[in-house]
Amino acid sequence: MSITQTDLTRINTFVFDVDGVLTDGLLYCFADGEQVRAFNIKDGFAIKHAISQGYNVAIISGKNEPGVRNRLEQLNIENIFLGIDDKTDVFEDYLYTQGIHPATVAYMGDDMPDYEVMQRCGLRACPSDAADDIREISTFISTKKGGRGAVRELIETIMKAQDTW
């Protein structure tokens, strides 16, 4: 699928998965049970910049780790949904409560838990190393892998198209 200028200029909301999108999908597991992930600083900068320019940013992830929440809060993200089994219900509730139209949402996911919710968005995006089924439905496939600048590339591309970068 190809992306058009209209696809880019109508976006006012970004929704991201965490593992495989904001991180490279690797988990470092320690004996005490703690699971550690690495986030990309450039992705973080882009998220903070988008928020400062008035864009909505939300996170919907199946995992629920305190360290992940701390990082997302450091980025000034207010709408953080962790430990979510059904992303579609949470996504639809988020849009309804915030008064956001689905056509104005760019959602970046990387694997099957994102599949259904991505079908409800104006712009479906994924990192270059996303699962094949996700790549097939995506209108924006980053040149970057998850956790390696894919989020930054999406945000920057959209904001530049809107002259807000």
Res. 1: pLDDT tops 60: no
pLDDT band at residue 69 using 50, 70 and 90 as cut-offs = very high
Structural domain count, the chain = 1
Query: Residues at the annotated binding site?
Result: 17, 19, 110
Assigned token pair, 66:
């305190």
DSSP state of 125: E
Q: pLDDT tens digit string along 95-124? A: 999 999 999 999 999 999 999 999 999 999
Mean pLDDT of the chain: 95
Share of the chain above pLDDT 70, in %: 97
Residue 106 is inside which H or E element, if any?
strand 105-108
Give the model's pLDDT for residue 2.
62
Look at 29-43, 119-133, 142-156 and tell me which has the smallest mean pLDDT.
29-43
Name the 3-class secondary structure at 140.
Answer: strand
Residue numbering of the annotated binding site for Mg(2+)? 17, 110
Q: How far is CA 92 from CA 64, 71, 100, 101, 119, in A?
A: 20, 24, 9, 10, 12
Residues annotated within a binding site for substrate: 19
Domain of 47 in residue numbering reads as 5-161
Distance separating alpha carbons of residues 91 and 145, to the nearest angstrom: 24
| Strand duo 28-29 + 35-36: pairing | antiparallel
Tokens read off for 61: 């992830």
Q: Please report, for the domain that includes residue 59, its CATH number.
A: 3.40.50.1000
What would the pLDDT profile of 28-64 be if each residue is shown by its tens digit? Answer: 888 998 888 999 999 999 999 999 999 999 999 999 9
